[in-house]
Amino acid sequence: MRIFVGFVGQPLASDMGVPQRVMEILTRRWAEGGAPADLDYEDLSTNLAAASQIVEESEPDALVLVAAKRRGGRPGEIRIYEPEVEIPDDPFAANDAMRASLEGRVDVDDILYGLKVLGASPPKIVVVECEPPEAGPGIGLSRAGEECASRMAEAVAGVLEGWAGS
């Protein structure tokens, strides 16, 4: 199974940058020989068109999106879920929904929506997401953000190991 792991965060917004730290942790682990076969990964925190092209060119059977998103949960909470994305019937509404990317704000919901609208969604998608402990302007993670990144790296490794066994 070909797998793509995409990281979606905002490193200039304190703990919203947790996904980039997870990428550092996993990249180090994978460089030491722990990478699954047929794995691609990249930071997708650019824009929807670029993210869609990157994922599409990888031709994955499955996608793991690692993200930080404020949803009103408990700070540091990690959620693992398979998203359901609906596309509006009105093509102008679909275009408007992708506008955030052009304005410099990309989050996991934007990426999921863009992949679906642009036809680049792989058959299987899992999101590993944290409720950022802190999300104000700032470079670097809080102590709670670092702990969240470590737990998220383990969660992503668990998802990948589960797929390797299937």
Output the pLDDT for position 87.
75
Contact 7, 22 (CB under 8 A): yes
Domain extents for the chain? 3-164
Q: Is CATH 3.30.420.40 the classification given to domain 3-164?
A: no
pLDDT score of 105 more than 90: no
Q: What is the pTM of this model?
A: 0.92
Which residues are CB-neighbours of 84 under 8 A, at least 6 positions away?
none
Give just the sign of the alpha carbon dihedral 165, 121, 154, 128: negative
39 pLDDT band, cuts 50/70/90, is very high
pLDDT score of 25 more than 90: yes
Q: Above pLDDT 90, what percent of the chain?
A: 57
| pLDDT tens-place string over residues 128-154 | 999 999 878 889 999 999 999 999 999
Which residues are CB-neighbours of 33 under 8 A, at least 6 positions away?
none
Output the pLDDT for position 46.
81
* Between residues 5 and 138, the one the model is more confident about: 5
